[in-house]
């Protein structure tokens, strides 16, 4: 049946459950994150091959800074190590990488690594892989509103000209179509400040599988469930 699947154009994932996966395997949390990162490499390739056009992953939230210093620094180390690997995967699979979220909070080398990824992969024409790092919807909307307010203050934008479209364009996801399907792993059923504006009409799919165990077959299962849904956008 896989051939007949209608592939959603934009799939957004909250990768969750690395910590519980580590606990279940009696290993330190940071090994759960490592397993999660390694799994992501495979899933990005699978997503690209399935024909998904935009694939967004929540890797680190604006709230995740509240975790222990040890865990935050282990995650930063992992991101650092992950950048060159992701570059290779992206180049091998014609994937363009973008990042959303407030990069300013990251150390310089990490922020520059993300710039380099966007630049190096900028001409690839296949799937767009969007990494949400130090991302939070409320923060994104706050920054966007601030940009618009500045334009109003400078006299280049009239308050009546603030529309849903101009708000969308003020967000980090400007130009990216809204997600059609949102997947969260590990059994939690919340948005945790993820793409709250953009997910207004997305289908939501929750699975109990922990992220490091989420493989191609689970992605296909989610897409099949999405195919069973009767999508509505408020009309009849
Ligand atoms: C998701 O796994 C990865 C990040 C938030 C960075 P968690 O670390 O949230 O795993 P659990 O929820 O504790 O199992
Ligand atoms: C959401 O997961 C953030 C990421 C996946 C990066 P969390 O595990 O941090 O969310 P909560 O705390 O359970 O809501
Ligand atoms: Mg979690």
Condensed to tens digits (0 to 9), the pLDDT of residues 157-212 reads 999 999 999 999 999 999 999 999 999 999 999 999 999 999 999 999 999 999 99
16 flagged as catalytic: yes
Cα-to-centroid distance, 192 and ligand 2 (Å): 6
Cα-to-centroid distance, 8 and ligand 2 (Å): 24
- Is the pLDDT at 4 greater than 90, yes or no? no
Tokens of 24: 């279940």
* pLDDT tens digits along 59-82: 999 999 999 999 999 999 999 999
Apex 94 CA angle, 137 and 52, nearest 5 = 50
Residues 19 and 36: beta-carbon distance below 8 Å: no
Q: Whose CA is nearest to atom 13 of ligand 1?
A: 19
Tell me which residue of 205, 200, 194 sits closest to 63, measured CA to CA. 194
- Looking at the chain, the number of H-run helices and the number of E-run strands are 7, 6
Closest ligand to Cα 211: 1
64 flagged as catalytic: yes
Q: Whose CA is nearest to atom 14 of ligand 2?
A: 192
Q: Could you tell me the domains of the chain?
A: 10-136+177-228 (3.40.1180.10)
Residues 228 and 13: beta-carbon distance below 8 Å: no
Tell me which residue of 51, 50, 21 sits closest to 38, measured CA to CA. 21
The answer, yes or no, to whether any atom of ligand 1 lies below 6 A from the CB of 19, is yes
Residue 172: is it exposed, middle or buried by C-beta count within 10 angstroms (0-12/13-18/19+)?
buried
Closest ligand to Cα 63: 2
Residues 214 and 45: beta-carbon distance below 8 Å: no
Count of residues in the chain: 236
Q: What is the distance between the alpha carbons of residues 97 and 30, in angstroms, rounded to a whole number?
A: 25
Tell me which residue of 207, 230, 226, 227 sits closest to 218, measured CA to CA. 207
Which of ligand 2's atoms lies nearest the C-alpha of 60?
A: 6
From the list 46, 64, 178, 193, the catalytic residue is: 64
Cα-to-centroid distance, 101 and ligand 1 (Å): 18
Which of ligand 1's atoms lies nearest the C-alpha of 29?
A: 8
- Which pLDDT belongs to residue 98? 98
* pLDDT tens digits along 121-146: 999 999 999 999 999 999 999 999 99
Which of ligand 1's atoms lies nearest the C-alpha of 60?
A: 6
Q: How many CB atoms lie within 10 A of CB 207?
A: 19
């Amino acid at each position: 049946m896989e051939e007949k699947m209608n592939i959603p154009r934009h799939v957004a994932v909250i990768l969750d459950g690395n910590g519980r996966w580590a606990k279940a395997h009696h290993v330190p949390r940071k090994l759960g994150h490592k397993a999660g990162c390694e799994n992501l490499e495979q899933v990005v390739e699978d997503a690209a091959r399935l024909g998904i056009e935009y694939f967004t992953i929540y890797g680190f939230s604006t709230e995740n800074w509240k975790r222990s210093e040890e865990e935050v620094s282990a995650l930063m180390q992992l991101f650092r190590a992950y950048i060159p690997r992701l570059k290779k995967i992206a180049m091998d699979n014609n994937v363009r990488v973008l990042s959303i979220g407030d990069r300013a909070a990251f150390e310089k080398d990490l922020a520059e690594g993300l710039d380099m990824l966007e630049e190096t992969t900028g001409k690839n024409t296949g799937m767009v892989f969007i990494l949400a790092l130090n991302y939070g919807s409320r923060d994104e909307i706050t920054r966007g509103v601030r940009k618009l307010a500045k334009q109003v203050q400078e006299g280049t934008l009239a308050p009546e000209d603030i529309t849903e479209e101009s708000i969308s364009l003020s967000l980090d996801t400007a130009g990216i179509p809204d997600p059609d399907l949102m997947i969260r792993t590990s059994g939690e059923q919340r948005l945790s400040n993820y793409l709250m504006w953009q997910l207004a009409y997305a289908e939501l799919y929750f699975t109990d599988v922990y992220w490091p165990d989420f493989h191609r077959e689970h992605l296909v299962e989610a897409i099949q469930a999405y195919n069973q849904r009767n999508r509505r956008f408020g009309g009849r």
